[in-house]
Amino acid sequence: MSQTKYTTKLSEKNILILGGTSGVGFCVAEATLEHGATVFISGSNPTRLATALARLRTAYPSLSANISGATCDLSDLANVETNLTALFDKVTEHKTKKLDHIVFTAGDALKFPTIAEATPAAVLGLANVRFIGAIMVAKLVPAYMSLVPASSFTLTGGSNTQKPFPGWAVIAGWGGATEGLARGLAVDLAPLRVNMVNLGVVRTELFDSLPAEVLEKALEGWRQQTTVKAIGRPEDVAEAYLYCMRDRFVAGATIETNGGRLLV
């Protein structure tokens, strides 16, 4: 039988997914499991974490030994480094096994001010998880990962940074900051690779709180703002994260998966 050198690139790799309890992060967990990895997911809500772990173990019963998780609150700025250190110690069994890849899909609810509503506290609060949280993860990377090209840290942003929706200036600003952070970390953590995946509109559980008629109208509008005339599926955009992990020559890059939204 011929050697498989492409589909086994993540086999037996240790992967931490922050924000892995739902949406895109959950699908990245599924995908990496299917590629033979050992997967550790984290989220801030214990109930959602337990549900996500149960879903993964039910879907992949033969891989249950490769599935684990723990809560970690990235929004608690006073304790975020302590929380992350405890998480990393658990994932790596107190540094006895290095992490190979970290995927950062964590985020809080997209409730943000327009420029007319902006206050310094509201603007700065948007940075807590997506920007400051990512920085604190990066601070711990050298202690828990080998700084080699085979390893990676992948951040998450959105196409709104390049093409803002009306009223989304503040979140677009933080998106641009996170892109700059990814490039800076690619330099500071080299030769470990740091990249960013920018998502278009992806249908995840975040939208479930909207009334059905409001949601469908919004989804149809977003469909028309793509070349593919569709809303993204988390199982599709998860492929971008696999690419960032598997291509040892991609570093400091922003990978777009947005259905052609930037062209419409």
Mean pLDDT by 10 residues, the chain (264 residues): 84 98 97 98 97 98 98 96 98 97 89 91 94 98 98 97 94 96 98 98 87 90 96 97 98 98 96
pLDDT number for residue 110: 65
User: Rounded to two decimals, what is the model's pTM?
Assistant: 0.95
Domain membership flag for residue 156: yes
Q: What distance in Å separates the CA atoms of residue 217 and residue 30, rounded to the nearest whole number?
A: 30
Query: 215 in a domain, yes or no?
Result: no
Instruction: Let me know if residue 231 belongs to a domain.
Output: no
Report if residue 245 sits inside a domain: yes
pLDDT at 207: 82
**Sheet of 14-18, strands arranged across:** 67-71, 38-43, 14-18, 101-104, 152-158, 193-199, 254-257
pLDDT (0 to 100) of residue 21: 97
What are the C-alpha distances in Å from 177 to residues 49, 126, 238?
29, 12, 23
CATH of the domain at 37: 3.40.50.720
**Per-residue model confidence (pLDDT) at position 3:** 77
Is 229 among the domain residues? no
Number of structural domains, the chain?
1
Distances (CA, A) of 258 to 29, 158, 166: 20, 8, 18
Strand partners, 18: 42, 104
Q: Give the range of the structural domain holding residue 107, as residue numbers without chain letter.
A: 14-204+237-258
Residue 225 within any structural domain of the chain: no
Domain membership of residue 71 (yes or no) is yes
**Does 162 reside within a domain?**
yes
